[in-house]
């Protein structure tokens, strides 16, 4: 069905999309449509790299709203995880934009912000290698925040106060601040985020529910290295010594999944902590079992916990790494 238009795609797909659980194969089987083709034969222009908000506004104002626009927000230092997000966006869209902006308001430690890996030239080359029709927005701080770099205030019903929120107070308000600004700028149909930052996706969904009801979020699976390590821009900061034993993070999540009914959450944490901290320079910051739908603590004896996810944070030679895994799902 090569003649299908983006407007028809809107009418067909939007009513059936669950923003928390998209499966392209189901849509393809249901409608017998090769989603990759959409109306992309009309998409002739080459990559655009824009660094000024005024220039972006001018470009977006010329875009037909009949086109499906997808946004992939990133902080750069792109890896295979980001690439999978971008490739997923291409399957849904007439127009794909990738934003690259290291957002200062989501950092609690100024030194952490300063040492965050930045290589815009390499990022552009990576995106160009995927598809030359992808567009890139690389704003400066003034374009996003003006003269005052401050976090907006939000109410996330407490989900920002647990897990990452304990050690990083204000982090999710910083994330929400930049995400809300980007959504206002682009007004996308779809936005793409990774499952690795699962707590973040729940915060972003609350932003969407509260301000942008027409935006659909697609959560893409975590991309892992051969040793199971979830890909992250921070992985480049790991020492050679830490890399040798870093598989213990994913191994711990698998252990929790395999022994969900054998041990209590408290026992699982004790075992996992012991195994992790046998490695010199490794420290378990947290390990918790929480409901995938609410982020409330999972009680393994409670049948109402239909979906339980393990969340873990490990500090390896000073590098803080997070991961999560769905370990029990009755649905």
**Nearest partner of 194 among 246, 230, 234, judged by Cα:** 230
Query: Catalytic pick from 43, 79, 82, 328?
Result: 82
Contact 204, 175 (CB under 8 A): yes
How far is it, in rounded angstroms, from Cα 75 to Cα 116? 9
User: Alpha helices, DSSP H only, in 36-79?
Assistant: 53-61
Q: Does 43 qualify as catalytic in the annotation?
A: no
- Which of 84, 69, 85, 3 has its CA nearest to residue 38? 3
DSSP string, 76-90: S---HHHHHHHHHHH
Separation in Å, CA 125 to CA 49, 68, 76, 87, 122: 11, 24, 12, 15, 5
Half-sphere exposure of residue 317, counting CA atoms within 13 Å on the CB side? 15
In the chain, helix, strand, coil percent, each to 5?
A: 40, 20, 40
Residue keyed to tokens 């390499």: 122
User: CA-CA distance, 171 to 178, in Å (whole number)?
Assistant: 11
125 membership: H or E segment, kind and range: helix 120-130
Buried b (16+ CB within 10 A) or exposed e, 310-323: bbbbbebbebbbbb
DSSP labels, 134-191: -EEE---HHHHHTT---PPP---TTTTSSTHHHHSTTHHHHHHHHHHHHHHHH--SEE
First to last CA, the chain: 33
Name the burial class of residue 133, with classes exposed (0-12), middle (13-18) and buried (19+) by CB atoms within 10 angstroms of its CB. Answer: middle
Which active-site residues does the annotation give? 82
């Amino acid at each position: 069905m090569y003649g299908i238009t983006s407007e028809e795609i809107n009418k067909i797909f939007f009513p059936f999309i669950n923003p928390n659980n998209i499966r392209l194969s189901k849509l393809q089987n249901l409608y017998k449509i090769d989603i990759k083709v959409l109306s992309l034969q009309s998409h002739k222009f080459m990559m655009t790299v824009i660094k000024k908000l005024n220039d972006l506004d001018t470009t977006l104002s010329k875009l037909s709203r009949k086109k499906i626009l997808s946004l992939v927000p990133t902080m750069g230092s792109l890896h295979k995880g980001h690439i999978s997000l971008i490739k997923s966006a291409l399957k849904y869209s007439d127009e794909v934009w990738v934003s690259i902006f290291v957002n200062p308001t989501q950092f609690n430690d100024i030194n952490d912000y300063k040492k965050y890996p930045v290589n815009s030239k390499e990022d552009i080359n990576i995106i160009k290698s995927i598809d030359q029709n992808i567009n890139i927005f690389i704003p400066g701080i003034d374009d996003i925040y003006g003269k005052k770099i401050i976090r907006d205030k939000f109410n996330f019903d407490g989900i920002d106060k647990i897990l990452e929120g304990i050690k990083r107070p204000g982090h999710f308000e910083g994330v929400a601040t930049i995400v809300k600004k980007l959504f206002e700028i682009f007004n996308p149909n779809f936005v793409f985020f990774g499952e690795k930052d699962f707590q973040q996706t729940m915060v972003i969904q609350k932003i969407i529910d509260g301000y942008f009801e027409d935006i659909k979020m697609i959560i893409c699976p975590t991309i892992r290295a051969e040793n199971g390590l979830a890909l992250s821009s921070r992985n480049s900061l790991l020492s050679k010594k830490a890399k040798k034993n870093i598989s213990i993070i994913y191994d711990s999540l698998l252990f929790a999944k395999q022994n969900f009914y054998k041990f209590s959450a408290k026992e699982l944490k004790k075992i996992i902590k012991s195994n992790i901290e046998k490695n010199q320079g490794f420290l378990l910051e947290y390990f918790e079992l929480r409901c995938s739908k609410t982020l409330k603590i999972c009680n393994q004896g409670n049948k109402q916990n239909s979906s339980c996810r393990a969340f873990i944070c490990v500090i390896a030679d000073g590098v803080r790494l997070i991961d999560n895994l769905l370990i029990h799902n009755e649905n």
